[in-house]
């Protein structure tokens, strides 16, 4: 086995990058960078029926968006390629031939119907279903008969009986498996394509993988891979099976669970920042050395060890994710958040596809007004609706505020101040508010809330002068005039 740490992330191209898979990729990446090792991306595409066109490209794009650069893969090559399973079929065939010659594997001619009958018989006896091994000792004549019937054999691995298979897992400690509970498993399907457990074991050995860090759901695959390692006499890598991710109800997270956004591409589309996603995902099962939870990628690399990965399930706290992304949004430049927010405003039909210089300035001011309030960029659409409506509607509480006896005095004074402004800017609007305060004697909540309600229909909001500036002089005057007209009519 290599002296250099070599780890791999080996997704199947069956869809988008799941947040749980992103965590596995991240932990592998952090260990490789901490140990000055190599991080390899390998595409496990042997299950052709589940492969989705374009998925490989989307997986790589999501990893790049997260900032997880790799050292070897399908796109950049490397010393141990090819890095796509279906490009390695000749390699697998050579290793299958070795196992067949050594008696570690054999041809199985059982049909799917026969296997189902056998499976049901185990279930009826209250036992774990497994293959009985009945094709293990077929005579040449029996094989010939089956082949004349048109049966195409799969190839099964002959699992040794009465053995305790042990693995020293870096997260879970020593784990034992009884070989009698495994059953002879298929390593090559009738179409000649290897199964996952066979291909991944061959690839991990030939690519000199030193650590296999993956989700706990793969723990059940480990004994099958161990017997293959043993059959070839190969060194076993350091396994590390990371705990499950639970939803906020502390139930196992399902891909059908709509309470959690589960795919990295969705976070990108919504306008999350990749460094926030990486920071949040890293803390799903791993604890840094101190109390600080906001960590740069470099800080995570410096602190990451498998010893600090918990065997207890991690809870996906959506509110914590929002808090963390909001922190990173606050720290980001206005230009960056503007670039994230603009497409959402355009897709909502609130802005044209091309903006002139004046419109760009207006939108940047709008984004700046709400930047420290955003949990993610798409929220700008709902937060800023008031700026794109022609008129406002007043709810019961808002109507009550505007019904107070002193409100017309404030509104008439403020209308006059705004109407006389030759330069309409937040600073001049602020000065106008001070003039109204001096003229009417009303200040604080008595002054600002009714003006806000009349102009926006809302009792609370962001900085009032900035809000009125973004609404525009004409719209604000129109809304105040409408209020005054309606009030006088009463």
Three-state secondary structure string covering the chain? CCCCCEEEECCCCCCCCEHHHHHHHHHHHHHHHHCCCEEEECECCCCHHHCCCCHHHHHHHHHHHHCCCCCEECCCECCCCCCEHHHCHHHHHHHHHHHHHHCCEEEECCCHHHHHHHHHHHHHCCCCCCCCCCCCCCCHHHHHHHHHCCCCCEEEECCCCCCEEEEEECCCEEEEEEHHHCCCCEEECCCCCECHHHHHHHHHHHCCCCEEEEEHHHHHHHHHHHHHHHHHCCCCCEEEEECCEECCCCCECCCCCCCCCCEHHHHHHHCCCHHHHHHHHHCCCECCCCCCCCCCHHHHHHHCCHHHECCCCEECCHHHHHHHHHHHHHHCCHHHHHHHHHHHHHHCCCCCCCCCHHHHHHHHHHHHHHHHHCCCCCHHHHHCHHHHCCCCCCCHHHHHHHCCCCHHHHHHHHHHHHHCCCCCCHHHHHHHHHHHHHHHCCCCHHHHHHHHHHHHCCCCCCCHHHHHHHHCHHHHHHHHHHHHHHHHHC
**Those residues with Cβ within 8 angstroms of residue 90's Cβ, 6 or more apart along the chain or in another chain:** none
- What are phi and psi for residue 178, nearest 5 degrees? -90, 120
> Cis peptide before 82, with omega less than 30 degrees from 0?
yes
**Those residues with Cβ within 8 angstroms of residue 432's Cβ, 6 or more apart along the chain or in another chain:** 414, 417, 418, 421
**In angstroms, how far is the first alpha carbon of the chain from the final one?**
88
Nearest to 264 by CA among 417, 55, 123: 55
Residue 440: both structure tokens together: 């009417």
Identified catalytic residue from 134, 152, 252, 255:
255
C-alpha–C-alpha distance, residues 370 and 384, integer Å: 8
Q: Is 255 a catalytic residue?
A: yes
C-alpha–C-alpha distance, residues 437 and 454, integer Å: 17
What residues are annotated to the active site? 255
């Amino acid at each position: 086995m290599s002296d250099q740490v070599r780890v791999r992330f080996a997704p199947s191209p069956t869809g988008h990058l799941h947040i749980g898979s992103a965590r596995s990729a991240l932990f592998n990446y952090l260990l490789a960078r901490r140990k000055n090792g190599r991080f390899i991306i390998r595409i496990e595409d042997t299950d052709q029926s589940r492969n989705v066109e374009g998925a490989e490209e989307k997986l790589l794009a999501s990893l790049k968006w997260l900032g997880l650069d790799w050292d070897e893969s399908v796109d950049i090559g490397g010393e141990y390629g090819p890095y796509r399973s279906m490009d390695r079929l000749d390699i697998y065939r050579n290793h299958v031939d070795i196992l067949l010659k050594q008696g570690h594997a054999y041809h199985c001619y059982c049909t799917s119907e026969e296997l189902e009958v056998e499976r049901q018989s185990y279930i009826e006896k209250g036992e774990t279903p497994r293959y009985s091994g009945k094709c293990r000792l077929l005579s040449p004549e029996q094989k010939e008969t089956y082949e004349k019937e048109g049966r195409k054999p799969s190839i099964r691995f002959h699992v040794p009986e009465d053995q305790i298979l042990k693995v020293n897992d870096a997260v879970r400690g020593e784990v034992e498996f009884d070989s009698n509970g495994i059953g002879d498993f298929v390593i090559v399907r009738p179409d000649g394509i290897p199964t996952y457990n066979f291909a991944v074991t061959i690839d991990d050995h030939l690519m000199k993988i030193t650590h296999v860090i993956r989700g706990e759901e793969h723990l059940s695959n480990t004994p099958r891979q161990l017997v293959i390692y043993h059959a070839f006499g190969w060194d076993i890598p350091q396994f590390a099976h990371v705990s499950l991710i639970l939803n906020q109800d502390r139930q196992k997270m399902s891909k059908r669970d709509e309470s959690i956004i589960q795919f990295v591409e969705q976070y990108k589309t919504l306008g999350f920042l990749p460094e926030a996603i990486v920071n949040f995902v890293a803390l799903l099962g791993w604890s840094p050395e101190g109390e600080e939870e906001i960590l740069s990628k470099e800080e995570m690399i410096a602190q990451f060890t498998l010893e600090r990965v918990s065997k207890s399930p991690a809870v996906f706290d959506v509110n914590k994710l929002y808090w963390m992304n909001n922190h990173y949004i606050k720290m980001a430049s206005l230009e960056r958040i503007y670039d994230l927010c603009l497409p959402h405003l355009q897709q909502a039909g609130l802005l044209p596809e091309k903006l002139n210089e004046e419109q760009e300035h207006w939108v940047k001011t709008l984004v700046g007004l709400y930047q420290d309030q955003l949990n993610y960029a798409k929220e700008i659409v709902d937060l800023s609706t008031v700026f794109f409506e022609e008129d406002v509607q007043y709810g019961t509480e808002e109507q009550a505020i505007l019904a107070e006896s002193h409100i017309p005095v404030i509104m008439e004074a403020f209308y006059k101040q705004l109407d006389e402004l030759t330069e309409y800017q937040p600073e001049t609007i602020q000065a106008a508010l001070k003039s109204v305060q001096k003229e009417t004697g009303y200040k604080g909540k008595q002054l600002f809330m009714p003006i806000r309600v009349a102009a926006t229909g809302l009792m609370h909001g962001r900085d009032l002068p900035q809000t009125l500036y973004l609404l525009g002089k004409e719209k604000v005057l129109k809304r105040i005039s409408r209020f005054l007209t309606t009030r006088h009519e009463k």
